[in-house]
Amino acid sequence: MSDLVSRDQAKERLDKLRQEIVYHEKKYYRDNDPQISDYEYDQLVKELEALEADHPELITPESPTQRVGEQPIEGFTTVEHRLPMLSLDNCYSPEELTDFQDRIRKLIPDEPLRYVVELKIDGLGISIFYREGKFAQAITRGDGQRGDDVTHNVKTIKSLPLTIAELSEVEVRGEIYMPFLSFQHLNQERQDREEAPFANPRNAAAGSIRLLDPKEVAKRRLDALLYSTYIAGAETESQWENLQTLNQLGFKTNAWNRRCENLEEVTALYTELLQKRDELEYDVDGVVIKVDSTAQQHSLGHTAKFPRWAISLKFPARQATTRINDILIQVGRTGALTPVAVLEPVKLSGITISRSTLHNEEEIRRKDIRIGDTVLIERSGDVIPKVVSAMKEKRTGGEVEFVFPSHCPICGTQVFKPEEEVVSRCVNSSCPAVVRESLLHFASRRAMNIEGLGEALIDQLFNEGQIREIADLYNLELEKLETLERMGQKSSQNLLDEIEKSRQRNLPRLIFALGIRHVGERTAQVLAARFKEMEVLSQASIEELVEVEDVGPIVAQSLVFFFQQPKNQELIQKLRDAGLNFSLKREESTEEQTLAGKTFVLTGTLSGLTREEARSRIEAQGGKVTTSLSAKTDYLIMGEDPGSKLQKAQNMGTEVLTEEEFLQLISS
């Protein structure tokens, strides 16, 4: 009988936990209005997971723990759409909307027209089915007639409900996208592992949704915005009602959706959104204008490719043409040789662009890029600009093919390129460029956070012979530092104080700071949590390492190789002798949780640190960063050109902090 009572009690607690977690997921991912801290949310999930582990017979498909499958899927099956997912015809200026309306008037000349305007998210189309109120199937747009079944991957998107109140079969359609913050985080991790970054958020989202392991998809932090629904195959009477129905069912729609009475209102909204384009947290490439009435949509019908009742008005492209004046080679901290195009300076999205990475030798060859070429460059969101293509029709014959060097341009060592890789490397660990970049990485905010130790100072320390390797930082002397340019007694002492603080940085930071290939911040954290001691980690076998979450064979081999190198063993011993923190047991919290329970929103451009750095500082002290203002927002951090969020914060009575005030807050 006691087992029965225990099981009944477990079921009651499970039901309550699931309801709580679903509620908080909705508030966080759909409403941007978090009610509890990340820690409190994680504790609820952990309790749910533990209870379900004790009572596996009580696990239900709609439980929040079932968003991510246990095993990778074997592949994708092709599914035919019940109704075609048509493309949209495009236009490129508001004036062209008159032609769009004239075509409509020829078919329905006397009826009043209203429009709905929606932002055109640069993502990938998706159709999702709910059956008997439960998430059942997700299909990509594909060719419009047939798409791939990606149910397991789409199920990981937390803004999509696992259950809805409507028990009829419901189909919803929308766009899956990757927010800029998720995109930057993903690309930073890829660069830390020396993998090629994704070119733009859309490519990243499309690549993510086609991964075979849903657990990996879940880490990509995708999101979705919906724009249409069919309940039991039936449509609503208008597109505006369609959007309201989606909201009522618990789906996330775009906050910028508007109903307009005429083309003048459409054009005014387009102009407003174009100005706010760079403030958005996701990539957009225009607006979609739809005839509001469903009956009128049916009267207008569609061509073989496009609906006649909708059109996409594109924003001007973030592209420009310029000339490649030269191609230089940069040597990174792992010896990687990266070609960089030196461009004729050109303005793009308000920023002057003068350089762009060309990634590797194969990229140059594939795009046939030459010194002297006129090239098309593109910038997406906050992403570093890339060279899209060479404009070969503009060649004069004076362009020069770039010959990749066979020796390191810094130290002269012959470069090495493994057959399975596209990156050439300098294998001299004492190469000044390798040591310099390693020092910059070691001192960076996300690693040991030694403020004041930047490129110019490191170059001086090298030139004066005060440092030759990372460990030399802990032997610097005040008297010698004072002899350097712009380094008086106060600034020299400040630097030594910062270096002293770095001795107490936690073990995950130190592992990341060592610059081990393929080991980013997240991997460093899980390694520290698993092995607890640097000595234990350094002696771990490949078999032990691959058992750790987020560590595969390539990362494991890289770790073992790093710790086997005599020079690296010597460096680690010197850092140990310098008193750095080599153990989780020794760690003391250097970051008091002074911001616990506080919610922040960032707007505008910060001058002293990146948004990701500001976010890290807030979260390190217990705070939370969200993308939208709500009644739960405690502070708006205002950079340059803050946009509409500043006015909204003032209207809501939210406290606004300048960047200087924010830095004072987190330092106090």
Amino acid at 664: Q
3-state SS, residue 543 = helix
- Residue 427 contacts by C-beta under 8 Å, 6 or more apart in sequence? 335, 413, 415, 416
Closest Cα partner for 81 from 14, 209, 173, 212? 173
- Cα-Cα end-to-end distance for the chain: 57
Give per-residue burial for 345-357: e unless 16+ CB within 10 Å, then b: eeebbeeebeebb
Provide the token pair at 449. Answer: 């956070």
Query: Scanning the structure block, which residue is given the tokens 């994704």?
Result: 198
- Active site residue: 16, 27, 46, 120, which one? 120
3-state SS, residue 392 = helix
3-state SS, residue 111 = coil
CA distance 96 to 90: 10
Residue 257 and residue 243 in contact, taking contact as beta carbons nearer than 8 Å: yes
3-state SS, residue 330 = strand
Residue 192 and residue 444 in contact, taking contact as beta carbons nearer than 8 Å: no
Q: Measured between alpha carbons, how far is residue 438 from residues 441, 500, 517, 547, 556 in Å?
A: 5, 19, 12, 28, 21
CA distance 459 to 333: 15
| Three-class secondary structure assignment of 439-502 | HHHHHCCCCCCCCCCCHHHHHHHHHCCCCCCHHHHHHCCHHHHCCCCCCCHHHHHHHHHHHHHH
Query: Scanning the structure block, which residue is given the tokens 């393929």?
Result: 518
Provide the token pair at 583. Answer: 């153990």
CA distance 63 to 66: 5
Q: What is the DSSP string of 165-227?
A: S--S-EEEEEEEE--HHHHHHHHHHHHHTTPPPPSSHHHHHHHHHT-S-HHHHHHT--EEEEE
Write down how long the chain is: 668
Tell me 404's DSSP state: P
Query: Scanning the structure block, which residue is given the tokens 């996701």?
Result: 282
Residue 160 and residue 136 in contact, taking contact as beta carbons nearer than 8 Å: no
CA distance 297 to 300: 5
CA distance 590 to 406: 46
Residue 400 and residue 372 in contact, taking contact as beta carbons nearer than 8 Å: yes
For helices 521-531 and 180-192, angle between their N-to-C axes, nearest 10 degrees: 70
3-state SS, residue 323 = strand
Q: Is 215 a catalytic residue?
A: no
Q: Measured between alpha carbons, how far is residue 547 from residues 459, 520, 527, 533, 540 in Å?
A: 41, 17, 11, 17, 11
CA dihedral 48, 51, 56, 59 (to 10 degrees): -30
Provide the token pair at 145. Answer: 């007639």
Ramachandran sector of residue 335 (left: φ over 0; alpha: ψ -120 to 50; beta: rest): left
* Catalytic residue set: 120
